[in-house]
């Protein structure tokens, strides 16, 4: 029976987290400062990073080509580190739409988009994105023409994926910053497309 204001006991797993962390710090394996820095670093990683990459590709055709050829190096041009893992950018065209999933776990371009949403890690997304992408996309409100080819990318190993959506009409002359503001996380996963209004 809990009283308002009374401290709630930890669950088994929260006990484990605290204990593991304290043991690692006691043993000099990690420091509290390192942990705090890592937390802050993760907080900084948001889809805004990925959106900058997309916006640059929209305004610069040569950047777009470099991005498609070597995603990691292109991101480094923008001062975005893509440590260890490799980035593959896949481009939406009028003929083809790209969608990303990790059926085996929850691999995701965290360095550009931050922590993945719950649904990306869910059983239903992971099972059905590969086998019935159109149905899944329609659940996200994205209805594609029958003639559009869907390319589903299963992130099974060391590569990480970013969808480069098509630049919508009605954005002519926009600054890179304004363009980036319409590129949402879901557009870069491939379950949505950017809208100009």
Partner 1 sequence: MLEARFRPGDRVRVRKAYPLGHIRTPYYIRGQSGVIERVCGAFGNPEELAQQRSGEPKQPLYRVRFLQKDVWPAYRGNPEDVVEVEIFQHWLE
Partner 2 sequence: MGGLPAGKVERTEHDYAEWERRVDALMVLLSAVHGGKRLMTVDELRKNIEALPPDAYDRMSYYERWVTSITQTMIQRGVITTDELGRKMEEVRKRA
Place of tokens 């003639």: 147
Known catalytic membership, residue 187: no
**Which residue do the tokens 């805004």 mark?**
48
Angle at the Cα of 131 from the Cα atoms of 126 and 133, rounded to 5 degrees: 80
Residue 78 binds which entry of partner 1, partner 2, none, CB below 5-8 Å type-dependent: none
Tokens of 101: 């999933």
Nearer to partner 2, 35 or 59 (CB): 35
142 binds partner 2 (CB under 8 A): no
Extract the tokens encoding 111. 């360095």
Q: Residue 98: in which H helix or E strand, if any?
A: strand 96-101
The verdict on whether 62 is a catalytic residue reads no
Is 133 or 180 the residue whose CB approaches partner 1 more closely? 133
- Residue 107 annotated to the active site: yes
| Contacts to partner 1 from residues 41-60, by CB under 8 A | none
Applying the rule CB under 8 A, the residues between 22 and 61 that interact with partner 2 are: 22-24, 27, 29-30, 34-35, 38-39, 41-42
Among the listed residues 18, 59, 96, 149, the single contact to partner 2 using CB under 8 A: 18
Token duo for residue 154: 């299963």
> CA 138, CA 134: separation in Å to the nearest integer?
6
Judge contact between 90 and 98, C-beta under 8 A.
yes
**Taking CB under 8 A as the criterion, which residues in 145-164 touch partner 1?**
146-159
Catalytic residues: 102, 105-107
List residues near partner 1 by CB under 8 A. Answer: 86, 88, 103-104, 130-134, 146-159
């Amino acid at each position: 029976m809990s009283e308002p204001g009374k401290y709630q006991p930890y669950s088994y797993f929260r006990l484990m987290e605290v204990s593991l962390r304290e043991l690692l710090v006691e043993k000099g394996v990690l420091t509290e400062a390192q942990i705090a820095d890592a937390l802050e670093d993760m907080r900084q990683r948001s889809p805004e990073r990925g959106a900058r990459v997309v916006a640059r590709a929209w305004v610069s055709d040569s950047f777009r080509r470099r991005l498609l050829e070597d995603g990691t190096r292109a991101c480094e041009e923008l001062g975005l580190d893509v440590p260890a893992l490799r980035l593959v950018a896949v481009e939406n065209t009028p003929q083809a739409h790209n969608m990303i999933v990790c059926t085996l776990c929850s691999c995701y371009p965290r360095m550009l988009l931050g922590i993945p949403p719950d649904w990306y890690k869910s059983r239903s997304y992971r099972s059905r994105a590969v086998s019935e992408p159109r149905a899944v996309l329609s659940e996200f409100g994205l209805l594609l023409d029958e003639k559009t080819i869907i390319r589903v990318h299963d992130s099974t190993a060391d590569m990480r994926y970013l969808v480069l959506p098509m630049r919508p009409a009605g954005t002519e002359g926009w600054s890179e910053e304004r363009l980036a503001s319409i590129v949402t996380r879901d557009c870069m996963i491939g379950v949505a497309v950017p809208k100009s209004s």
